[in-house]
Structure 1
Amino acid sequence: MHNRKEITMHLNNTPHKVLPIKEERHKLFGSVEPGPKHKPVEKDKMADLQNQKKDFLFELDAVGITNVKHPIIINSKTQPEQQTSIASFTFTSTIQQSNKGTNMSRFMEQLALYSQQGFQTELSLLKEFTKELAERLGQKDASIELTFPWFYERKGPSSGIAGLNHADLTIKVTYHETTGYQVNVGISVLITTLCPCSKEISEYSAHNQRGNVKVEVSLSDDYDEAIVDWKLALLEAAESNASARLHPILKRPDEKMVTEEAYENPRFVEDMARLVAADLYEMPFVTSFTVTCQNEESIHMHDAIATIHFEK
């Protein structure tokens, strides 16, 4: 047996170290033996600071956990009809003035329960999730918010060659025991805009840019996801009012069509905001909306932006 001093050997002309065992290496870098333990290990005997009842000065609007990454399953009325993605979750509830805090583990217990068969993003299931979360927390309300990328098929306008585009989606469902549910959804999608001013003043050509359209809407109580897919409705409102849509695959005949379409449909950010708002206004299941259009200008150092909020 070798002692624990470093020994250099030569095997196949390669220096070889004999290291201390792992336990001794840990001690070398500061690990110590466990100290005496006197506090209880049974849950019902442990102190529960969060469940103290006193006057804690203020009610809290939202307490919970955020930046929770978890796989989800998305169903759509377009290809791909089912896909997996990763969402970033926020779970919260209000806390009364008499309560010190919440039970953080219960949020993740609820997520784990609903994930046993795959976490579905249907609004009906998210409503059930939120109501049960409030009951699990022993609170009068709860909310769930998730953001995630969603992919959808897009074909070249001439070639018909299909690829996948993507948009970022947001869902927020709030439940209250007296007022029921509030459901808000949103989309952030990239589009092409061609500058009307540039087209008007130039002898030939016009500059264009990539724009971002963000839409947030409140859904009516009678909205039926089985009849209308809100993802497709908001996507169409954003893309159909642009100068042109973006495509994952463009052959030359496709590029010619997209370029000419943009030239035929010039749009300022102000135009985009108003046109998208008009489509949302006509959707019977939308009760209020916010539209923000932002262009990454191609001949300016700044971006252009326009926003509109409307309550029906």
Structure 2
Amino acid sequence: MNAITLPDIAAQTTSPTLPLDWVGMCGVALPLILEGRCITAHADAGVSLDDAGARGIHMSRLYLALEALEREELTTGALRRVLARFLDSHLGLSTRASIRLQGKALLKRPALVSPLAGWKAYPFEVSARKDRWGFHVELHLELAYSSTCPCSAALARQLIQQRFSEDFANRPLELEQVLTWLGGSQGIVATPHSQRSSAQLWVRLGAGEDIPLRRLADLAEQALGTAVQTAVKRADEQAFALANGQNLMFCEDAARRLSDALQGQDWLTGFRLRVVHAESLHAHDAVAEYRWNYSAE
């Protein structure tokens, strides 16, 4: 029996119409190996369609090229090879290729004081493209932290001072009485407001091979000082309260801390950052942004 030749409609030529900037697939489920662990991710993969006479691209060739990412650690080299395969399989049709990988990386984080530890999820995105300007890779990472308002802390301290003056104005001070007062509800008449906050970092990577997700997360959390916790005991919660009290910050402070930390790194060529403090005082958020050597493209 003769083999039946199946029609390839995408390969059919048409009268010249319009080249397209990007054609591909979005949301392709894909396992990745990152930081030595297999994680579930989704990929957007595509190429330009420069031949105005071509009806379409070969989607299946892009899909099959993605399989290479299942078998090795995610590196810039692996991304470069996949993009090269995208273009090799579309010779004469495409001159630009791109891929975007989205997922959540799980990093194990120790408690502040106790021997406990727990897993924390970090949403991330790795974007790579190959075009006539070369090969480019960017890492986007989102992380959560706690921020305590410096203004509310000062106002709370003032109220505590006033109450202390009222309660001890005409009394001799005795250490035990003061300690009892400080440990009671009348001593802490006001507390500063804190809020869960988030930082988003877009980092353009240099010539290195690795995808420095853990390095970036560690760097950012060290700069901020009050990363949200996982498993805790009371001693850890107390240490967290102490860290917040000694680490007051507006969103502007957080943005500047992150900028200072990132600008000292030789493995990146530019970055953009955005911090959001979801205020407990207001019904709106406080936001700060900054970019360094990062122009919109």
TM-score range, shorter chain: 0.7 to 0.9
Determine the C-alpha separation between the residues in 2 that align with 1:104 and 1:231.
Answer: 30
Match of 1:34 in 2: none
Aligned equivalent of 1:197: 151
Measured in 2, the distance between the counterparts of 1:106 and 1:128 equals 14
Q: Is residue 302 from structure 1 mapped to residue 284 from structure 2 by the alignment?
A: yes
The DSSP-based 3-state class of the residue aligned with 1:298 is: coil
How many angstroms apart in 1 are the aligned matches of 2:112 and 2:124? 25
Aligned-residue identity in percent: 22
Partner residue of 1:292? 274
Of stretches 236-245 and 294-303 in structure 1, the one that deviates more from structure 2 is 236-245
Unaligned runs of 5+ in 1: 1-39, 76-81
Match of 2:9 in 1: 48
In the TM superposition, residue 197 of structure 1 has moved relative to its aligned partner by 1.1
Instruction: Write the distance in 2 (CA, Å) between the matches of 1:54 and 1:102.
Output: 16
Read off the aligned partner of 1:217 and give its amino acid letter: V
For 2:82, the equivalent position in structure 1 comes to 129
Q: Do 1:156 and 1:162's aligned partners in 2 also have CA atoms closer than 8 Å?
A: yes
CA–CA separation in structure 1 for the residues paired with 2:38 and 2:8: 41
RMSD in angstroms over aligned alpha carbons?
A: 2.0
Task: Say whether 1:169 aligns with 2:148.
Answer: no
Distance 1:119 1:257 in 2: 40
Flag the structure with larger Rg.
1
Are residue 259 (structure 1) and residue 257 (structure 2) matched?
no
SS in 2 for 1:290: strand
Map residues 211-250 of structure 1 onto 2, 5 A cutoff. 211-220=197-206, 222-225=207-210, 230-250=212-232
Deviations 1:167-203 (A, max 9, x none): 1111111123x43310111100111111111112223
5 Å-filtered alignment, 1:37-186, equals: 42-43=5-6, 46=7, 48-57=9-18, 59-75=19-35, 82-98=36-52, 99-115=54-70, 118=71, 120-138=73-91, 139-176=94-131, 178-186=132-140
Equivalent AA in structure 2 for residue 154 of structure 1: R
CA deviation after TM superposition for structure 1 residue 256, in Å: 0.8
Partner of 1:3: none
Highest RCO, 1 vs 2 (Cα 8 Å, sep ≥ 6): 2
Matched residues, number: 257
Q: Give the letter aligned to residue 223 of structure 1.
A: G
User: For the Cα contact (< 8 Å) 2:76–2:209, is it kept in 1?
Assistant: no
Q: 2:177: which partner in 1? A: none
Secondary structure class of the residue paired with 2:224: coil
Question: Tell me, which stretches of 5 or more residues in structure 2 are unaligned?
Answer: 158-189
> Where does residue 210 of structure 1 map in the other structure?
196
Find the counterpart in structure 1 of residue 169 from structure 2: none
Distance 2:8 2:66 in 1: 26
CA distance in 1, matches of 2:118, 2:215: 20
Give the counterpart letter for 2:13 in structure 1. Q
Is residue 276 of structure 1 aligned with residue 262 of structure 2? no
CA–CA distance in structure 2, aligned partners of residues 91 and 181 of structure 1: 15
Aligned equivalents of 2:69, 2:293: Cα separation in 1: 34
| Greater helix fraction, Structure 1 or Structure 2 | 2
TM-score in terms of structure 1 length: 0.77
CA drift at 1:41:
5.0
Contact 2:83 2:98 in 1 (8 A): yes
Q: Check the 8 A contact 2:75/2:209 in 1, yes or no.
A: no
Displacement, 1:275? 1.2
* One-letter code aligned to 2:134: G
- 1:242-278 deviation line (CA, Å, top 9, x unaligned): 2511111111111111110111011111111121111
8 Å CA contact retained: 1:272, 1:293: yes
Q: Distance in 2 between matches of 1:224 and 1:104?
A: 28
Amino acid in structure 1 at the alignment position of 2:76: L
- Note closer, same or farther for the CA distance 1:65–1:286 as it changes in structure 2 (3 Å cut): same
> SS of the residue aligned with 1:272?
helix
Runs of at least 4 residues off by over 6 Å: none
